Structure 1
Amino acid sequence: MSDDHRPPAALDLLDRPPVPAGPAGPPEPGAPAHGLGRDGSLARDIGGYQAVIAIADPMTVRLTFIGAEGRPLPTVPGALRAGFAAQVKETKALARQVRATLAAERQRVEALMAAERTWPYGQWCRHYRDHPVTGRVAHGLIWEFEEPDGHWHTATPGEDVLVTVDGRALPVPPGGARVRLWHPVRALPGAVRAWRNFVTGNRMAQSFRQAFRETYRPGPPGAETDLRRGRFDGEARRVLAEGAWRVGCREGRARVTFERRAAGRWREEPPRAVPPPVFSEGMREADLFLRLAPAAEEDPSGAPSATAGIRADVLRRILPGTRIAGRCAVDGGFLVVRGGLRTYRVHLGSGDVLTEPGGERLRVGPARRTGRKGLFLPFEDEVLARVLGTAFLLAADHRITDEAVLRQITRGT
């Protein structure tokens, strides 16, 4: 972990009172390692060249061919295409297998956000921290480690050390100590803010939204699970928490139900009887489903969604370090961009652009990437990336050469 941009000490925010946790699950067989080393890489000698498969980050697997001079080559060397075609084909197939395993592990570990699962520390080290593939997912995530007194302390795996939010090393837990995946719904608001500072300050790419995850809690009596996104025609269900719970959206008003599986049957439970991580993840799934439903359209004039709020938080943290910082400001569910020709409001829920004054929709193509080299995002989010790309484009609107876009911009000015 980098020592730059450390947040202030916040261990007092992370010391949690004893909280019940689910029992440790059955031993896990672990994902295939594909012959990779603990660092997530493998090298093969082929015809005088070296082929290296490496997990570069939680989202990326690269296959690189290195020549005798030690320089990476942009493509497969011509000398290998004929005489060593079989070995090259086999190596490419292995790289595809590693990519598939990495994607499956990201999805599997994210699903554990809804589970009350714990692991003995020694087992967690074998199947998560030290695993060649799963380890690339586990590193960059936040975990909780139980003390003998029942308190949980939070840290992220560093280089052979567990790093706390203030950059200190957490004492190594005993082999039987319990470990669980950290969920922001269980944390105090100050702890969530501290970990978000840590993630962005250390440019820590997370395998999925964790520090910046949307959280949900039961609403007032009678409306504990209302998402208030209009009506929903049909019914949808999804199983959570390793099959122990099921969340559903029923026809009519967008009301979410929770069912627990007991003795082979599903039984609906009141919202306040649902464990907080299960409730939060279930509501998150339902909210996402309703926003993506064919009849759904996020109202730009309405209250920002939870996801738009997360994007706003990310933008407030990363924009000050960019060259367009002085031209951008977050305003509710919008990123306001002041260009040379007009001012624009980029909707954080959809990425749509409205012009000011007038509120007319501006249709722009895929935003160019110029000026965003090295820009860090703490998690993968296509809409957030599009919002940023659009902001860079419109902040320099006087340089736009696309006549169709320029006609829209100059209309009404």
Structure 2
Amino acid sequence: MLGCLPAQPGTSRMLAALAESALRKVPHLGPRHAPTATSAIHALARLDGDDALAQLARLAVTVTHRGTLKVLDGVLGAKARALGVSREEVAELGVPDYGLTEVGRLVQAVGDSTAELTVTAGKAALSWRNDKGRTVKSPPASVRAGHAEEIAALKGVVKDVGKMLTAQSERLDRLFLAQRSWTYGSWRARYLDHPLLGTLARRLIWLAGDVPCLWAEGVLRDLDGAPVRPGPDADVRLWHPIGRDPAEVLGWRRHLERHEITQPFKQAHREVYLLTEAERAAGGHSARFAGHVLRQHQLHALARARGWRHDLHMAVDGDFPPATRDLPGWGVRAEFWCGPDHRGEGWTPSGAYLHVVTGELRFYPPDAETHHGGFIDPRHTPPLPLTRIPPLVFSEVMRDADLFVGVASVGADPAWRDGGPYGDYWTSYGFGPLPATARTRHDLLSRLLPRLAIADRCFLDDRFLHVRGELRSYKIHLGSGNILMSPNDTYLCIVPKGGSGARVFLPFEGDEVLAVILSKAMMLAADTAIRDPSITAQLR
């Protein structure tokens, strides 16, 4: 019914929230009620105006339920045809400015006070000044009494801006594989000078023509600080470290760290995965991430969030298809093979295996038939030689696989004390050689540590951050975040709480493990001040 009525303030936001609520997962069962989400999306599609289009574009990035995504894609495709633009342009044009009068800032009079909404480092915040111009924690009582609706509306904008920033950051991160480019004039209007997207775009490195540049002091500048002034028709695209000179990549990393610029996702510090000699010799498959034990439901959520198709492996199934990611613009499909593991805790009440074991990663033509009964069928299309896969595609797909293992592996769980049937694997993963993501942490920490207050208590070796406390000395593994302590490398279990990451500058968002490692290091350097009994009992 809402879709048939004239749009009211807040209607689009409410319908989008309903869709998200209906898709919220019930453990071991799935979405609460996907048809309700579909109905909310169809109602949004009937509404005119930028607000409804913005919510649809945001949902298209954040929703992972396959059926709902298909509905969203159809709705946005229809909107694109109606507007005479491409599907990608709808996602860009649908980003609202939320009334921001300049990039990342809105100033609004409310009664005799002033509200200021600012967006910095990917977060929106609301502050207040009273009638004397003094900053206060909250609006004065007279403003709260006479302008309750305006205050509520501003709080709603802050919440919406936060959700939209997260969605747009994820969308921008996917543009590396989308081969998206713009003319300079179009890009500047849609990104650099957009009141909301500008807060993300101005922290990213772009290629104007083939010149890498970053926004600084009111103009685009190259690595040496010289202004870059492209013509209106110059080609602009996101910069990616693969294929760039190592000195250039290192230069941008140091620039971000020196000026304390936090990128919305890893770009300058992005891991690059190159073909190994073993992979060249293997021909059509990579076993780099094979043999890991993953929590299946966590893998499922991560895969969907990164644009992969993944069906939960059920105990009643005889067919266990791989996780797949379609890359039609490149003419390939990536497949990451996983199979159910029977050694662990079995399956959920609905019959889904709790754990899977990873296998090989392959690339195929988009329409290839590849498996039968969960196994490679030699009668079907053979995999493409890895040497024929574009380096950017190979690197980004391998990065996804590294993410799946790094987050969903049972070896990354600090509370896995016993390990049960996975004890040997848990130990080898939790304290073994570093994967590419952890090597990036090592590289960054080598430059960040000297700036920290605990620098004189820390040092790095090839796998660990060593911390000297008053009671013990500690080794924090840079891959898993697990801790060994003196004497005898005794395991120390510290389960991080939500939001417990260290409050120090990091040049990119999204690496929670790095934040937790730094938080643990700061806590352990002052181990005599620890009061948590679950930790102090282990230090005795």
- Assess, with a 3 A threshold, how the Cα gap between structure 1 residues 240 and 208 changes in structure 2: closer, same or farther: farther
1:132 aligns with 2:195: yes
Is 2:205 aligned against 1:154? no
Larger relative contact order, structure 1 or 2 (CA cutoff 8 Å, min sep 6): 1
Name the CA distance, whole Å, in 2 between partners of 1:209 and 1:34. Answer: 26
Post-superposition offset of 1:77: 3.0
| Corresponding position: 1:327 with 2:385 | no
Distance, in Å, in 1 between the alignment partners of 2:292 and 2:167 is 33
Identity %: 36
2:166 corresponds to 1:166: no
Map of 2:388 onto structure 1: 273
Q: Offset at 1:257?
A: 2.3
SS of structure 2 residue aligned to 1:361: strand
Of Structure 1 and Structure 2, the greater helix share is in 2
SS of residue paired to 2:325: strand
Deviation at 1:359, TM superposition (A): 1.6
AA in 2 matched with 1:271? L
For 1:296 and 1:361, the matched residues in 2 are separated by: 13
Are 1:289 and 2:289 an aligned pair?
Answer: no
1:42 has 2:103 as partner: no
Please, which of 93, 96, 113 is the counterpart of residue 32 of structure 1? 96
> What is the rounded CA distance, in whole Å, between the counterparts of 2:364 and 2:191 in structure 1?
30
Q: Unaligned stretches of 5+ in structure 1? A: 1-23, 147-151
CA positional deviation for 1:93? 1.5
Partner SS, residue 227 of structure 1: coil
- Partner of residue 138, structure 2: 75
Report the more deviating stretch, 217-226 or 100-109. Answer: 217-226
Query: How many equivalent residue pairs?
Result: 376
Matched-pair contact (CA < 8 Å) for 1:115–1:241 = no
Q: Within 5 Å, which residues of 2 pair with 1:99-248? A: 99-146=162-209, 152-170=210-228, 172-220=229-277, 221=280, 222=282, 225-230=286-291, 234=320, 235-240=322-327, 245-248=332-335
Instruction: Give the direction of change, closer, same or farther, for the CA distance of 1:241–1:216 in structure 2 (3 Å limit).
Output: farther
Secondary structure of the corresponding residue to residue 389 of structure 1: helix
Deviation (angstroms), 1:326: 1.7
Q: Tell me how far 1:402 sits from its aligned partner.
A: 4.1
What one-letter code is carried by the residue in structure 1 that aligns with 2:362? T
1: distance between equivalents of 2:150 and 2:107?
13
Q: CA deviation at 1:217?
A: 1.6
Deviation, 1:368, is 12
User: What SS class does the counterpart of residue 155 from structure 1 fall into?
Assistant: strand
- Establish whether residue 339 from structure 1 lines up as the match of residue 469 from structure 2: yes
- The 10-residue stretch of structure 1 (30-39 or 194-203) with the greater mean CA deviation from structure 2: 30-39
Q: 1:328 to 1:340 in 2, by over 3 A?
A: same
- What CA distance in whole angstroms lies between the structure 1 residues aligned with 2:202 and 2:133? 28
Q: Which residue identity lines up with residue 508 of structure 2 in the other structure?
A: F
Tell me: CA distance 1:291–1:399, structure 2 relative to 1, closer, same or farther (3 Å): closer
Question: In 2, distance between residues paired with 1:288 and 1:409?
Answer: 32
Q: Residue type matched to 2:408 in 1?
A: A
Alpha-carbon spacing, 1:274–1:368, altered in 2? closer, same or farther (3 Å):
closer
Whichever residue aligns with residue 360 of structure 1, its letter is: T
Q: Find the partner of 1:376 among 496, 505, 521.
A: 505
Q: Which moved more, 1:315-324 or 1:94-103?
A: 94-103
Q: What secondary structure is seen at the aligned counterpart in 2 of 1:185? A: coil
CA pair 294-26 structure 1, distance change in 2 beyond 3 A: closer
CA distance in 2, matches of 1:31, 1:140: 18
For residues 245 and 47 of structure 1, do their structure 2 counterparts lie closer, same or farther at Cα, with a shift above 3 Å needed? farther
Q: Which residue of 354, 362, 377 corresponds with 1:257? A: 362
> 1:308 matched to which residue of 2?
438
Q: Is the 8 A contact 1:122 1:176 kept in 2?
A: yes
Instruction: Choose which of 90, 95, 99 in structure 1 pairs with 2:153.
Output: 90
Matched, 1:317 2:447: yes
C-alpha separation between the residues in 2 aligned to 1:274 and 1:182? 20
Relative to structure 1, the CA distance from residue 203 to residue 36 in structure 2 (aligned partners, 3 Å threshold; closer, same or farther) is same
User: CA separation in 1, counterparts of 2:268 and 2:520?
Assistant: 25
Alpha-carbon shift at residue 108 of structure 1 (Å): 0.7
1:259–1:181 distance in 2 versus 1, CA, 3 Å: farther
CA distance in 2, matches of 1:76, 1:37: 21
| CA distance 1:54–1:303, change in 2 (3 Å) | same
Who is 1:5 aligned against?
A: none
The answer to whether structure 1 residue 56 and structure 2 residue 120 are counterparts is yes
Q: Deviations over 1:278-321 (max 9, x none)?
A: 22111111221133336565613421011111111111111101
> Could you tell me how far apart the structure 2 residues matched to 1:108 and 1:366 are?
28
What is the alpha-carbon root mean square deviation over aligned residues?
Answer: 2.9
Q: State the TM-score, normalizing by the size of structure 2.
A: 0.64
Rounded Cα–Cα distance in structure 2 between residues aligned with 1:394 and 1:47: 49
Q: CA offset at residue 262 of structure 1?
A: 7.6
- Structure 2: which amino acid aligns with 1:144? L
Give the C-alpha shift of residue 156 in structure 1: 0.7
- Which structure has more strand as a fraction of its residues? 1
Q: List runs of 5+ in structure 2 lacking aligned partners.
A: 1-85, 294-312, 314-319, 340-357, 369-380, 413-425
Provide the residue aligned with 2:517 in structure 1.
387
Q: Compute the displacement of 1:120 (Å).
A: 1.1
2:406 and 2:480 in contact (8 A); partners too: no
Q: Distance in 1 between matches of 2:235 and 2:87?
A: 11
Q: 3-state SS of the aligned residue for 1:354?
A: strand
Using the TM superposition, give the Cα deviation of residue 244 of structure 1 relative to its aligned residue in structure 2, in angstroms: 6.2
- Is the 1:347–1:353 Cα contact (8 Å) retained in structure 2? yes
